[in-house]
Amino acid sequence: MFQEFSWPREKGELYPLLKAQAAALLEEEPDPVANMANLSALLWQALPEINWVGFYRTVGEELVLGPFQGKPACVRIPWGKGVCGAAAKEKAPQLVPDVHAFPGHIACDGASRSELVIPLLAQNGEVTGVLDLDSPVSGRFTGEDLEGLLPIARLAAEALFPQKEGDGPEWAVDSALHHMTSGTPARELFQAVCDEIGRYYQPAGLKYTRSNRKLRWKGKRLCCEIGFWSSHSNRSGEWVNLEIVPSVFVLGDGMVRKGLLPLNIRPKNFNVCRPDKDCFAEIIAWIDRQLALARSLESREGVERYLKRLPDRQRETLGRDDNLRRYLDRLDKERVK
């Protein structure tokens, strides 16, 4: 049963409590409508400066309104349209500081100024719906909100659309993950995991290069290259260390070689030893966050919000970086046009 208490204002304290409460509400309840209703009510109560929160379900080639908190909303959203449709089509979270600057934004509530949408993914990678949050405050949502809400969205996806017995990740027919044993060469396992990550993102329009194991997203001003590496010391039957290295580059002005590496975007390591849906979901969620960050950096406002979250010393160092100054100057010139 839900227990009433005061929610902490610090996000680092808020989101772990929110995840625990969400897990308790969803425990042993099979009805998806009840679960969506309870989760939307929980988020509505816990998160400040929110004017709408709820779910849309995938029905055919549309997103159809589910349980929510807030004003009456758009009932049907075409696939790929608006912020919700983009999240569903791209299979990636959409963190939008200014909804009026988002191409094709669908205005259900004129008071909304910022929006965060997280797709709900089934075990086979299909989008079964989205979790949508709106705020009347511009720039209300940050990467910290996205990171805190991703585990809750995964809980929602599992509870709203439970895995059927025998279901699991649908690896490629020729993938080594189907016949993984203690004798499977580590190099083969590493390649198979990278291939499945690339295969997962290809429907969203991201390019995967198998020869050097790299995933690439291309936006209007930036591209994000995500490289995969493993240790040469890995041996058959042992954990494979998967290191994922994201790099953000500016398009079309000679900065591609050096990129925006000073922006403090760090690699992440995962230990992989078998085809495991939870491990795969964790990897995908982390990559989603890097892609969402790259998208947010395509505007000066997004860069400034990112810099404000850094410690003072790092922010001062970045303020002297020539590459970053050139990029911000370019954004300013584009805004003047």
Say whether 107 sits in a helix, a strand or coil: coil
Q: What integer pLDDT is reported at residue 167 of this predicted model? A: 47
Confidence of residue 166 (pLDDT cuts 50, 70, 90): very low
Strand order in the sheet with 268-272: 207-209, 214-218, 222-230, 240-250, 268-272
What residue type is 222 in one-letter code?
L
**pLDDT, mean of residues 175-191:** 73
Confidence of residue 110 (pLDDT cuts 50, 70, 90): confident
Q: What integer pLDDT is reported at residue 132 of this predicted model? A: 96
Q: Is this model's pTM higher than 0.75 or not? A: no
**pLDDT, mean of residues 294-308:** 82
Q: What integer pLDDT is reported at residue 130 of this predicted model? A: 95
**pLDDT, mean of residues 80-106:** 87
Q: Computed over its alpha carbons, how large is the radius of gyration of the chain? A: 21
Residue with the larger pLDDT of the pair 163 and 78: 78
Q: Residue 222: phi, psi to the nearest 5?
A: -130, 160
- Asked whether residue 66 carries a pLDDT value surpassing 60, the answer given is yes
Confidence of residue 283 (pLDDT cuts 50, 70, 90): confident
| Residues 115 and 132: beta-carbon distance below 8 Å | yes
**pLDDT, mean of residues 297-312:** 81
Question: Of 50, 94, 48, which Cα lies nearest the Cα of 69?
Answer: 50
- Asked whether residue 45 carries a pLDDT value surpassing 80, the answer given is yes
**pLDDT, mean of residues 109-135:** 87
Confidence of residue 256 (pLDDT cuts 50, 70, 90): very low
**pLDDT, mean of residues 266-282:** 74
What residue type is 286 in one-letter code?
W
- Asked whether residue 252 carries a pLDDT value surpassing 90, the answer given is no
Average pLDDT of the chain is: 81
The b-or-e profile of 308-337 (16+ CB within 10 A means b, else e) is eeeeeeeeeebeeeebbeebeebbeeeeee
Q: What integer pLDDT is reported at residue 76 of this predicted model? A: 93
